[in-house]
A and B are shown apart, each in its own frame.
Chain A
């Protein structure tokens, strides 16, 4: 019995790390640009399809494809910001949030339906040779793929922290997040900072997409699900808090896993949504966010 619970917890941690990774880009973009990109899930979907096609057409190992996904989705993000979001970022708070929400919304529809047109609505999967390989640790089964996903999630967070704290551009990003006007007065090019941040957020989404494809499957419809999931994690962690995102994701993953165990699989998604609604009404700044 204990083993089953332990298995559930471990599975929850591995899925949760993926949730955290999915939310990381969203949190970054919100913290700096102060917009909530509801098309974030579509970027995850695009990353996933990149991995799928690279595997299907060229036999490229999904984890190696990360090297392609990173820059590709970065460019997609760059273009989306340049063409669309940059036009609303400098509006006043209310209009900026409303318009960016709507643009993201329109993008979701366009991207999702383009994906259906181009790649059909079928669910696809990527099954490399080691798909079923797993480690056994004290009676708990650790699928190699999920384990790799866990590691990559941690690496991504560490990489992002390093970038933000140690590099010049990273500090520029943090400065812009805190006060863009002062940042501009310091000689920081705000437009470029925004582009960089959005592109980075997109690549993080792309990486999450690769892991989603190889751990589960890919279809044009996963965008909205994952946007919602990322939203829940971001709100749990506190809008703008990057450090808490991985922890919040893991918390959500474990909670979902245990709820599914105790009450049945159908309630898995519901639990997340209910927790989200409770946190939203009681503590909108999230579990790790600062009190206002």
Chain B
């Protein structure tokens, strides 16, 4: 579905990604793990068109999206829940979700999407008229995911969903991610929390200092010596 093919990305003169390749197939859950600053978010920004790679290609559903503007990529069904949550704090929960259905195709399904989001995250239904800025960290994460779901995504990318959240909430979030994947949406999750990520992923990539150093099935990586010692302190 999503093919990232040997991309190089630089910020001005500073190159940060070298020869990165990654694939997400239909109806699968893929993880990209690695330490802080390894280039995970940069890869995602390149995929979504917030950055352009200097080399390489990115294709989604067979179409080359390397130079496509962000909102068009989103319209094709590729959506990102960014690391910075991406909720509009000056708008209410309801307005945030409604805005999530901005593209015409999503707008038509607005009511059912919103129903679905409220089913998955009942707390959002409770706090619909609250301004998003007043929500807690975990609730904001739920709102961010909810907003992405309003776009009727075919592939949902989550950047560090566990960041800054208490372990119990992280559990909840990952349960939700699993639930979403069972409904047929492909997931790419990018995480520092290697454990949680590898538990739900069928396939995973390890990225360090801008390069993919390892990739294998989730199960194999969980038991891999190197991964365990580097990331799980074992």
A interface residues (Cβ-Cβ under 8 A, vs B): 168, 171-172, 174-175, 178-179, 181-182, 184-191
User: Is the CB–CB distance between B82 and A186 below 8 Å?
Assistant: no
Q: Please, which residue of chain A has its CB at the minimum distance from the CB of B70? A: A184
When A182-B88, A187-B74 are in contact, do A172 and B50 touch as well, CB less than 8 Å?
Answer: no
When A181-B50, A187-B103, A187-B106 are in contact, do A171 and B82 touch as well, CB less than 8 Å?
Answer: no
Q: Give chain B's interface residue range (CB within 8 Å of chain A).
A: 20 to 34
16 cross-chain CB contacts under 8 A: A174-B88, A174-B90, A175-B91, A179-B88, A182-B82, A184-B48, A184-B50, A184-B69, A184-B70, A185-B70, A185-B74, A186-B74, A187-B106, A188-B71, A190-B70, A190-B71
Chain B residues within an 8 Å CB radius of A190: 70-71
Chain B residues within an 8 Å CB radius of A191: 69
Chain B residues within an 8 Å CB radius of A174: 88, 90-91
User: Is the CB–CB distance between A187 and B71 below 8 Å?
Assistant: yes
Smallest CB separation, B222 vs chain A (Å): 31
Which listed residue (A168, A175, A184, A189) contacts B88, Cβ 8 A? A175
Does residue B100 face the partner (Cβ distance < 8 Å to A)? yes
When A172-B99, A172-B102 are in contact, do A187 and B151 touch as well, CB less than 8 Å?
Answer: yes
List 19 extra interface pairs beyond A182-B86, A182-B88, A185-B82, CB under 8 A.
Answer: A171-B91, A171-B98, A171-B99, A172-B99, A172-B102, A174-B91, A175-B88, A181-B50, A182-B82, A184-B71, A185-B48, A185-B74, A185-B79, A186-B151, A187-B71, A188-B99, A188-B102, A189-B71, A190-B70
Does residue B95 face the partner (Cβ distance < 8 Å to A)? yes
Does residue B15 face the partner (Cβ distance < 8 Å to A)? no
User: Is the CB–CB distance between B48 and A187 below 8 Å?
Assistant: no
Does residue B80 face the partner (Cβ distance < 8 Å to A)? yes
Smallest CB separation, A125 vs chain B (Å): 43
Q: Kindly state the separation between the CA atoms of A188 and B88 in the bound complex, as whole angstroms.
A: 13
A-B interface contact total, Cβ < 8 Å: 62
Q: Kindly state the separation between the CA atoms of A182 and B91 in the bound complex, as whole angstroms.
A: 13
Does residue B182 face the partner (Cβ distance < 8 Å to A)? no
When A187-B75, A190-B70 are in contact, do A181 and B90 touch as well, CB less than 8 Å?
Answer: no
B interface residues (Cβ-Cβ under 8 A, vs A): 48-50, 69-71, 74-75, 79-80, 82, 84, 86-91, 95, 98-100, 102-103, 106, 147, 151
Most B CB within 10 A of own CB, among A179, A187, A189? A187
Q: Please, which residue of chain A has its CB at the minimum distance from the CB of B75? A: A187
Chain A residues within an 8 Å CB radius of B70: 184-185, 190
Q: Kindly state the separation between the CA atoms of A194 and B74 in the bound complex, as whole angstroms.
A: 19
Q: Kindly state the separation between the CA atoms of A288 and B95 in the bound complex, as whole angstroms.
A: 24
Smallest CB separation, B124 vs chain A (Å): 16
Q: Please, which residue of chain A has its CB at the minimum distance from the CB of B45? A: A181
Chain B residues within an 8 Å CB radius of A175: 88, 91, 99
Chain A residues within an 8 Å CB radius of B89: 178
User: Is the CB–CB distance between B95 and A171 below 8 Å?
Assistant: yes
3 A-B pairs with the lowest CB-CB distances in the bound complex, closest first = A182-B86, A184-B70, A187-B74
Most A CB within 10 A of own CB, among B79, B80, B86, B106? B86
Q: Please, which residue of chain B has its CB at the minimum distance from the CB of A185? A: B80
Q: Kindly state the separation between the CA atoms of A98 and B89 in the bound complex, as whole angstroms.
A: 28
Chain B residues within an 8 Å CB radius of A185: 48, 70, 74, 79-80, 82, 86
Q: Kindly state the separation between the CA atoms of A178 and B82 in the bound complex, as whole angstroms.
A: 15
Q: Kindly state the separation between the CA atoms of A191 and B71 in the bound complex, as whole angstroms.
A: 10
Q: Kindly state the separation between the CA atoms of A190 and B73 in the bound complex, as whole angstroms.
A: 13
Chain A residues within an 8 Å CB radius of B75: 187
User: Is the CB–CB distance between B91 and A187 below 8 Å?
Assistant: no
Chain A residues within an 8 Å CB radius of B151: 186-187
Smallest CB separation, A90 vs chain B (Å): 10
